[in-house]
A = this chain, B = another copy of it.
Amino acid sequence: MKSNIDLLLVIAKLGAIDQKVSLTTTDISKKSGFSQQTASRKLISLAKHGLIERYPNNRGVEVELTHKGKGHLKQKYFQLKKLLEKKKLVIKAVVSTGLGEGKYYIRKKDYYKQFIEKLKIKPFAGTLNLEVDNDSIAKIKSVPKIIVNGFKDQNRSFGNIDCYRCTLKNTLSYIIFPERSSHPSDIIEVISEVNFRQKFGFKDNQVAEIYL
């Protein structure tokens, strides 16, 4: 989809960011500079991509940004913030116990080889799980993504892993999002060459700062 972030921003500014708002496609066309027809078509497209919820009726359209739509705006915001304020984004995260999924993935040779090649680290065979607030995900996704490709072994297929470079305790690390993760969306996994729990004495519920 062609990034219709400009139209999303127009709709958000009309108030649809945290509540349903009654608009007309003509309102939107005036604010956006598109024709009424194009506003209508784009609205349908945004809804199809899950960025807004849309309830047309015979007096206009009720519109509200979805969580995902708001996420897109936040992502753009954090990109600009990092760029223009010239300082790193920081995430406050809480150490937690995960499912051990990451550990399983890291040990797969096809992934491991790519971690070394693409991420330039020889990862410790375990991950640190952290709980973050919702804006954090948008912050993470605002920095360049490195994709570690999936593969198939004789038993099953493995999906891509999206990796985002960061530092934790001044240590080069990566936040990893396996394509088909069963993690709740506010838990992230971090890999690096070190065992954070051992080297830095990390315990559950302890707060850590991640720099992007």
| A31 nearest in chain B by CB position | B144
Type the 1/0 row for A60-87, where 1 means its CB is closer than 8 Å to any CB of B.
0000000000000110110111011000
| A17 nearest in chain B by CB position | B83
CA distance A13 to B80 in the complex (A): 9
Specify how many copies of this chain sit in the oligomer.
2
Contact A80 B9 (CB under 8 A): yes
The answer to whether the Cβ of A12 comes within 8 Å of any Cβ in the partner chain is yes
The answer to whether the Cβ of A154 comes within 8 Å of any Cβ in the partner chain is no
Instruction: Write the nearest CB–CB distance from A71 to chain B, whole angstroms.
Output: 11
- Chain A interface SS verdict (over half): helix
Contact A9 B83 (CB under 8 A): yes
CA distance A144 to B15 in the complex (A): 14
CA distance A12 to B12 in the complex (A): 25
Contact B83 A80 (CB under 8 A): no
Q: Which B residues are in CB contact (< 8 Å) with A153?
A: none
Beyond A3-B6, A6-B3, is A13–B84 a contact (Cβ under 8 Å)?
no
Contact B74 A77 (CB under 8 A): no
Contact A73 B77 (CB under 8 A): no
Type the 1/0 row for A99-143, where 1 means its CB is closer than 8 Å to any CB of B.
000000000000000000000000000000000000000000000
A–B Cβ pairs within 8 angstroms, 9 of them: A9-B79, A9-B80, A13-B83, A17-B83, A73-B80, A73-B84, A74-B84, A77-B80, A77-B84
Measured CB to CB, the residues of A under 8 A from B are 3, 5-6, 9, 12-13, 17, 73-74, 76-77, 79-81, 83-84, 144
